[in-house]
Structure 1
Amino acid sequence: MKANTLLFEIAWEVCNQIGGIFTFIKSKVPTMTDTYGDNYFLIGPYIPEKAKLDFRPIRDLDNTPLSNAIQHIKMLGFEIHYGYWLLEEAHPKVILINPVINMEALHAAKATLWQHHEISALESNALLDQVIGFGEVTRLLLTKLIEEIDINQDVIAHYHEWMSATSLPELSWRQARLATVFTTHATLLGRYLASNEPDYFSKISTFDWTQKAREYGIETQAKIERNVAKHANVLVTNSALTATECETFLGRRPDSIVHSGIHRKPGVGHEVFEKHLQNREKIDAFIKALFSPSYQLKSDKTLYFFTSGRYEFRNKGFDITLQAIARLNEVLVRRQSDIRVVLFIITKKPFYNIKPDVLEARQRFQELQKICKKISAKLGPRMYANVTGSAGHKLPDLNQLIDDELQMTWRQALANFKRKGLPPVTTHHLLEQDDITMFCDQAGLNNKEEDRVKVIYHPDFIERAISLFSMDYLEFVRGCHLGVFPSLYEPWGNAAMETVLHGTPVVTSDISGFGRFASETADMDGNHQIKTIKRREQSSEDAVIQLTEIFTQFVEEFEDQSYIPRATLPKPFLDTLCWSELQQRYHENYRLALLRSQPVAGLY
């Protein structure tokens, strides 16, 4: 690659958290900015409520080819924003495009899809219209940029998933002077078929992609994805499972398999344990605020399990997690165990607002803490005076040391804090009931005092600025005891990887790319900190039984040994997951893309 090569990474989840691709891009960015510097840019959709959290616009554009291209797009009447993505460890330059474009431009883009690629998009579909609109503006932007730069300067466009890549086939058709890489993290048909077709994994190669796309009502989307894979100079995926799907559904074998990674290796030993204790205190505070008004949970006798990810009830294994946790509750109740388990479910679902009683509980708990500190501050000097005075040999009567004002304040605070009723299962008012809430209702998982297992369903991502936990997601992960990811369809599994790398043991599945990677790595063979559920050839009922046994064993070990398990991974395993190593693989793919886009030049 030439030193002045411009690299654009394009994804629907740039500044727009939906699922694992957001985590993938976010973890990759610091290494990319270190490697490519000012020649590295990201392109994503402009979603105002998301952008306001971590996007800082550049007000004054300079006289560069990219700035001129952006100005050109604005003059055409499209909304486009240029600025910085404010991540913790890097502030890369980012271009955000409003995917909602005017009807005339949208119809023209759809006409082009049909005329040049025989893809019909006539049916009204709000999300598909946005995807096509985003792709059209991206195409115009890259086309204008290529016109503006010197003919000897190269441009690489690296697309992630079909939703970001509708511009790729048309740029190829117009023979734009551009090298393209397409990474598919999971095929569209794979997501649909895995949870609906019996014996999916043993029958992948037998499916007719056209027939299944029509059957599931995603023919247009599947054709777009297939065309993107066909026209990309280089096709990349993240696991052997997705590589097989690419051959069947996309008609092309990937050029490379590059799994996900992390930017920075986590701490080791005492650092991991100290971070766990610090972050667990914050989770303890949230649980006390929510449960103490109804009944008490002892922090030293409570385990925190969690599952998280895109809301796909079966694909993400939420279904068998809930079934297993309900059975665990029955086991612990029958044994009269004094251990309590809180299962957090963290995903994204439409909601109206946070429940007022959740906010009030947190506020009243904080007020109670302030009052306790106030009483303590007044009691301290009085106790000291009592002990050092003439009555120092006697144990002081605390009631006599507290004046009427403090007693009244305490009684009022306590009266306000206590409440009738059970702690809520769901922290937010959902727009409608879903499979999670319906299961909890049917299974009687409603946070009764006599139950050993409690459920907290948090239908929003955890971000420090707006979090009920007063922490960000990775801090929450470190504060928990076990991450649960028994996915039915998981080409890689960023959530499980992140969890165990930050010190929290995980349950994953033999279908997960990360789960298979860990089990096939020599240093990780038999590692007790990564438990694997068999889902490839095992029924859902058998998977529930296996998961229940893992939960039960985890509780028993905690109960018997009274220690907090933390995950520590061998260095060779960690090295294979670092972007500093993985980036070399993508660098090779970029070079291959340049070679294929300019075969006559022979420069690469």
Structure 2
Amino acid sequence: MKDRVIFIGPNCWEQSDCPYFIEDLALFPDWCIKAEKEDNLKVKVGRWNVPGQPIAILVDLKPFFAIKDQIYGRLWEDFKVDSLHAYGDYDEASMFSYAAAKVVESFYHYNIDRKAKVIYHGNEWMTCLGLLYIQKAVPEIATIFTTHATSIGRSIAGNNKPLYEYLWAYNGDQMAGELNMQSKHSVEKQAAWHVDCFTTVSDITAQECRELLDKPVDYVLPNGFENNFVPKGASFTAKRKQARKALLQVANALTGDKFDNNTLIVSTSGRYEFRNKGIDVFIEAMNQLRFCDSFHKKVVAFIEVPGWVAGPREDLQERLNSGKSFETSLCNPTYTHWLHDADHDNVLCMMKHLGMHNLPNDRVKVIFIPCYLTGEDGILNLPYYDMVLGNDLCVYPSYYEPWGYTPLEAIAFKVPCITTDLAGFGLWANTVKGANCEIEDGVKVIHRTDYNYQEVAIAIKETIYKYATFTDSQVKACRSNADKLSKKALWNKFIIYYQEAYDFALRKAEARNNKMNL
């Protein structure tokens, strides 16, 4: 879409330069002056420093906190959104959402011809207040809301309640009160009902929207992927070798065990949602594999989710910097970074409960990397995308996963993965095949329900066991199938769904405005 698409974000980098944003003073200079003088909008205009370099507008949301009560009051008057129970991130998200909408309103009136077709597309509940504002204040603009996961559905799942078996029986409003989610649920539900086009990212979340927001989606917009940053040829081989070396060096320095290149490297990653992302069942599966007498291959399993990290372990840094290999373990050889309140960390507590201490005789070692992998973590110092391709298998056994970028990213890097049919991506993979996907297809999709936790753990264990017995030619075929499947989820395959949704929204906005002008 080139410069016909503009992204809006919060200006979070007042004291330093944002590494992802390049300011361009030549873009809309007159409007920037007007926006500040007349609309009290402090904006920076530039481009995101990513392929395509789309235009981005960063807005300061702080000035709107002073009038948030008036904003919430108007929202109640216009749409009956309940902001009285707001807490946590609700205020900050809402003030950004309002600021973004004011940017759109100002930009539209100053820069855009009235005959132009304009769409405002908000993602997730955090953009809903702005969507509602635009719907009221600038009805000429078509509005689209995409929920990637309903706030109340995620909360139900995260509170260890069975979501799927009783989905038909849940009342979203009642559950919002029970789980103290009234304000987020309220603004999301009203946006779903009032925007021109309501969408989500998968069929499984479409069911959730119908039941919990009482509003069927107009379109499903699956999450695509752009693979132009996946290395190719000799570069891919070199990066994979580098990642494996780094991961195995960390494993040796922590545990004192020796790992050759035949070691099976497995990982899970994503948000630290212990149950929703299946981190608990991943640990259980690794524990079961640890006691499998007929399994003789060494496995290092990494849990790469950001916890309450305090900093890199100095003793581990010292060992890594020495360049030596070690035959003795460090104290607490299960994690790479110090954690605040480690005694109450879910991963470490479960591993301790199961007796998973990475002892010398354990053929399966599990290592927790509790930080964002930006390339500057102090231990691995490789960004996530340079690490993921070092895996042999990735495991994402989610209980709640509207789509699932992590498995899609894994197979784009030719790493076969294990997921579930409660993930939108897993359902999509099964649909592409026309049957249940097996690991030979590049993705193993495990059937998961509210209650089959142990069956899922066993299936993960058995799939890893099976993959470990593959011949080189079988591994090559499996990795090739993973790569082929990922190419069916490229944006050039999925953009058509967006085009259809945009057309739907524009037609609805046009009909509304024609009616208003009669």
On whether the aligned pair clears a TM of 0.5, the verdict is yes
Contact 2:317 2:378 in 1 (8 A): no
1:515 matched to 2:426? The reply is yes
- Alignment of 1:128 with 2:90, yes or no, is yes
Shift of 1:154: 3.1
Partners of 2:52 and 2:337 in 1: CA distance = 32
* Unaligned runs of at least 5 residues, structure 1: 1-35, 369-413
- Larger RCO (alpha carbons 8 Å, 6+ apart): 1
Q: Does 1:243 align with 2:206?
A: yes
Report the alpha carbon displacement of residue 210 of structure 1 after superposing the two structures with TM.
1.0
1:428 aligns with 2:391: no
Alpha-carbon distance, 1:597 to partner: 0.8
Matched, 1:252 2:161: no
Q: Which moved more, 1:488-497 or 1:548-557?
A: 548-557
Q: How does 1:490-505 map to 2 (within 5 A)?
A: 490-505=401-416
Percent identity (aligned): 24
Corresponding residue number in structure 1 for 2:320: 362
Distance 1:58 1:273 in 2: 35
Alpha-carbon contact 2:299-2:363 (below 8 Å) kept: yes
For residues 86-108 of structure 1, give each alpha carbon's deviation from its aligned partner in whole angstroms, at most 9, with x where no partner exists: 12x23222122344445422222
Shift, 1:360, TM fit? 2.0
What is aligned with 1:408?
none
Q: Do 2:2 and 2:52's aligned partners in 1 also have CA atoms closer than 8 Å?
A: no
What's the CA shift for 1:572? 8.0
Contact 2:25–2:45 (CA under 8 A) maintained in structure 1: no
Asked if 2 retains the 8 angstrom alpha-carbon contact of 1:511 and 1:535, the reply is yes
Residue 192 of structure 2, aligned match among 195, 212, 229: 229
After superposition, the C-alpha distances for 1:371-418 in whole angstroms (9 at most, x for unaligned) are xxxxxxxxxxxxxxxxxxxxxxxxxxxxxxxxxxxxxxxxxxx9xx78
Match of 2:390 among 479, 488, 502: 479
Post-superposition shift, 1:61?
Answer: 4.6
List per-residue Cα deviations over 1:52-101 (Å, max 9, x = no partner): 5632342525556xx515751476555533222212x2322212234444
Kindly tell me: are residues 74 and 486 of structure 1, through their superposed partners in 2, closer, same or farther at Cα, counting changes over 3 Å?
Answer: farther
CA change 1:570–1:198 in 2 (3 A) is closer
Could you say what secondary structure the match of 1:54 adopts?
coil
Is residue 2:71 matched to residue 1:106?
no
- Check the 8 A contact 1:57/1:81 in 2, yes or no: no
Pick closer, same or farther for the CA change 1:53–1:471 going to 2, 3 Å.
farther
Instruction: Supply the RMSD in Å over aligned alpha carbons.
Output: 3.1
Query: For residues 558-597 of structure 1, what are the structure 2 equivalents within 5 Å?
Result: 566-569=478-481, 573-574=485-486, 576-597=488-509
Match of 2:358, SS?
Answer: coil
**TM-score when scaled to structure 2?**
0.88
User: Structure 2: how far apart are the matches of 1:78 and 1:566?
Assistant: 53
Judge which range, 201-210 or 564-573, deviates more.
564-573
- Contact 1:277–1:479 (8 Å) recurs in 2: no
Change (3 A) 1:359 1:467: closer
Structure 2 counterpart of 1:177:
140
Match of 1:303? 264
The amino acid across from 1:461 in the alignment is Y
Alignment partners' CA distance in 1, 2:250 and 2:275: 32
Letter of the aligned partner of 1:96 in structure 2? L
Q: How does 1:263-302 map to 2 (within 5 A)?
A: 263-264=226-227, 275=236, 278-292=239-253, 295-302=256-263
Distance 1:307 1:320 in 2: 11
Contact 2:416 2:482 in 1 (8 A): no
Any stretches of 5+ residues in structure 2 without a counterpart? none
Separation (CA, whole Å) in 2 of partners of 1:160 and 1:322: 32
Gap change, CA 1:565 and 1:136, over 3 Å in 2: same
The equivalent residue for 2:155 is 192
Q: Deviations over 1:527-585 (max 9, x none)?
A: 42211222136521222222222223333447x99967742238985554121121122
Count of aligned pairs: 509
2:446 maps to which of 533, 543, 550: 533
Distance 1:49 1:429 in 2: 29
Question: What TM-score does the superposition give when structure 1 sets the normalisation length?
Answer: 0.77
Partners of 1:588 and 1:420 in 2: CA distance: 57
Q: How far off its partner does 1:165 sit? A: 2.6
Which residue does 1:351 correspond to in 2? Answer: 309
Deviation at 1:322, TM superposition (A): 0.3
| Structure 1 residue 307, shift from structure 2 partner | 0.4
Identify which of 55, 65, 75 aligns with 2:20.
55
Change (3 A) 1:57 1:537: closer
Kept in 2, the 8 Å contact 1:501–1:569? The answer is: no
SS in 1 for 2:119: strand
